[in-house]
Amino acid sequence: NKILFVGRLSNGKNPELVIDALKNTQMEADIIGDGELKDELIRKIKKTKSKVSILNKVDNKKMPNLYKKYSIYVICSDVEGNPKTLLEAMSSSCAVVGTNVPGIKNVIEHLKTGLLVNKDEKSLRKALLELFVNEKLRVKLGERARKQIIKNNSLDIILDKEYSLYENLLKN
């Protein structure tokens, strides 16, 4: 029941929000990534005594197996484009929690395929605790998330959409 965060350790990705949300709880998290905030985050973990570990980057080929080891994935960016790590986590049936910002809210359907939260530690903590203690919800959101990704983001679907776009362009 560890929580996973994957991303650049930089201000816009807000990994410190995960640390703040988990302080004074029994929840544990692994943060995978590298960046300019790494040393600062390590100090914050020690100071808050949060049960958070920062792990080195993982080779992309190993990521699918890694996601499957976690039941909860969190993404707390200020803004995203097409959040690849979120899509990967959802395709691995992780229950996902994301900040209610452009890019993330375009992927997560609140209470259907994941949970959307405000960008503050109390909102994030509440959502993570809910998933941590409610296995039924956690599993249901993870299953729905995977179905959504298969339906909208599988390679066959993307190729069909791209082919249709080219077809329409050639007609015009």
Q: CA nearest 55: which of 105, 104, 2, 106? A: 2
CB 67 within 8 Å of CB 88: yes
**Are the beta carbons of 5 and 75 closer than 8 angstroms?**
yes
pLDDT of residue 161: 82
DSSP H/E element including 55:
strand 51-55
pLDDT value, residue 153: 84
Q: Determine the average pLDDT of the residues in 121-135.
A: 97
- Give the mean pLDDT of 37-41: 97
**In this model, does residue 57 exceed pLDDT 80?**
yes
Amino acid at 31: I
What is the DSSP secondary structure assignment for residue 93, as one 8-state letter?
T
d(CA 60, CA 170): 36
Q: What is the pLDDT of residues 61-111, one digit of tens each?
A: 999 999 999 999 999 999 999 899 999 999 999 999 999 999 999 999 999
